[in-house]
Each structure stands twice: as C-alpha cells, then as structure tokens.
Structure 1
Amino acid sequence: MEGIELVCFKMISALGAAKSSFMEAVQEARLGHFEEARRCIEKGDKYHAEGHEAHFGLLQQETSGEPVQLSLLLVHAEDQLMNAEFLKITAEEIIALYERIESIK
C-alpha cells in the first residue's frame, strides 16, 4: 500500500471510530449516563483529531505544490471526515436535550 492509500485508510479507520464513539455518547445520554456520554465524546474527539491530522497532511502536501491524486478512496475518506464532524455536533445537541429533559423531570 502506498502513501495516499495509507493516509486514506488511516482517515477512514480513525473517523469511523470517532463516529462510533459519538453514537455511543447519544446512547449513553438516552440512558441518563451523562458523564459516560461526555467521556464518549472526548474519546471520539481523539479519534477525530487523528483523522483530521492525516487529512491536514494531504492539505499541506497539496499546498506545497505536490498534487494529491483524487480517487474514490480519497472521496470516501473526505466523506467520513465531514460525517464525523456533523455527527459530533448533532450528538452534543442531542445530549444537551436529554440533559434538559432529565432536569425537568
């Protein structure tokens, strides 16, 4: 496996783990386990940072004049990055709603 493919697989792996952690956070919040939900968000943030770091390397490569070969694998990795970012924001909002519901019970 060569450079760009390896970077894409690193992104896909890390960002998939981030998305799983963010979904787990929502599930924990639904059960009223808000501290555990926050831990899941933090865990997801670490995975997300790994994926983002790999992506940033590609951006640096491109801006330094070394073109990055576009491929379906790269498009999928980019999609995973955007979905992880969206899912984190959504998970945090859902957790806040569950906390608010819990506080008015």
Structure 2
Amino acid sequence: MRSDFLFKLPFCNSSTLKKIIPNALLFGTFYKNSMVDKSLIENICKSAVVLSVYPIQKNKKACLDKYEGIIKDYNFWYLTLVKKNSIVYIPTFKIYNMNIEIFN
C-alpha cells in the first residue's frame, strides 16, 4: 500500500481530501476547540467507513432498508439507487446505520 494514503484508505490521500473537504473543515477536524459542527464531522467519518468497508458495488441489485433497486453510482456524498420508476439518492453517512442486502 502506498505511504501517502491517509488513514490507510486508498481513496483518502492528502490531495483527494483537499479537493473534497474545504480547508476550514479539514483544519476543524484535527483541532479540539473547533467551530465545526460535531455532527458534520461524525457524518464525514461515517461516509469514510462506508466507502472503505461496506460491500457496495455498482450495477448490483441491492436492498437498503426500505429501498430496493440497482446501485448506479456511489461516492463520498451519496449513493444513487435506480428503482423501477424513480431514482433514490441516499446520503452515504445514512448507509452506516442501514441493513444492506446485495442480490446475486
């Protein structure tokens, strides 16, 4: 594994973080007396865990709690689930607490 990965996550190197998270938030996560909302920091951490650990794959049929469809795309901010007549956008941090069923 490359040494420039932050937290040993392949999607989370220093240049990627600077593009995704504004500098104010980046500094706020590392200082104890931050003005940044703690729930925002918690949601960012949950999204990182989901992207690095959960068995999510594009073009797979999945059931996430009450939503069932095909996973079209997922990124740091949300997961796109295509249903029969609609598209559902689920924030990635919410997936942290969901039951996930992947169909073959």
Between Structure 1 and Structure 2, which shows a larger proportion of strand residues? Answer: 2
TM-score above 0.5, yes or no: no
TM-score, scaled relative to structure 2: 0.26
Between Structure 1 and Structure 2, which shows a larger proportion of helix residues? Answer: 1
Q: Which has the higher contact order (CA 8 A, sep 6+)?
A: 1
